Chain A
């Protein structure tokens, strides 16, 4: 039987969705909030990308949580479009989903970058002042 990442069976919700995404150094980038699927010419359906970001998570959230999430996203200048990580960028799946350095750079969170620039960066000592 053919395998994927060394597994014969991959249950998408159990094994991939909600797992943390990390770069090659183990730095967390977010969670797998959804998966993009595509119909192939042979009629089968394949997974083509991981989706991460609050907008990608919204379809699985209850209505009351959506209000809170959207309000907090607006505070950081969002909400942003889901970030898409091609399935080919996955290097390993265990308790976390590891991806390549190039994919990790492309999948950096815009809201996190804005938060660093606008708030964290203005805190005295935030720019490694002790070094």
Chain B
């Protein structure tokens, strides 16, 4: 599989309605390997800017603007979705997913 097959893919809520798109793949280290932990999904196709990471603090105004743009962005851990014919099908309701911001607190 390639990352491009997931990035931009439609995300379907548990009732089958399209609720968002895959914006990014969030990964982390695992004994030297780079392992995908989950997906960043959002109502829009807007890319992230890098300031969404706690270690990459940007100018306060820029952070505010980006947080506003991504207020409908969510994080869904690997295992809480399945990949079905180039679409991502959530196993948890969109409303139950944590906002991206809460992961940095």
Give chain A's interface residues, CB within 8 Å of chain B.
Answer: 1-5, 7-15, 17, 34-40, 43-47, 51, 59-60, 87
User: Contacts A34-B3, A37-B3, A44-B78 given: A9-B26 contact, CB under 8 Å?
Assistant: yes
Residues of chain A with a CB closer than 8 A to B33's CB? 4, 46-47, 87
Closest to A39 in B: B1
A interface: dominant SS: mixed
Contact A13 B1, beta carbon cutoff 8 Å: no
Number of A-B contacts (CB under 8 A): 104
Are B3 and A11 within 8 A (Cβ)?
no
B residues less than 8 Å from A39 (CB atoms): 1
CA distance A3 to B55 in the complex (A): 13
B-side interface mostly: mixed
CB-based contact B36/A13 at 8 Å: no
Task: From A1, A4, A13, A60, give the contact of B34 (CB < 8 A).
Answer: A4
Residue contact A3 to B48, C-beta cutoff 8 Å: no
Instruction: State how many angstroms separate the Cβ of A45 from the closest Cβ of chain B.
Output: 5
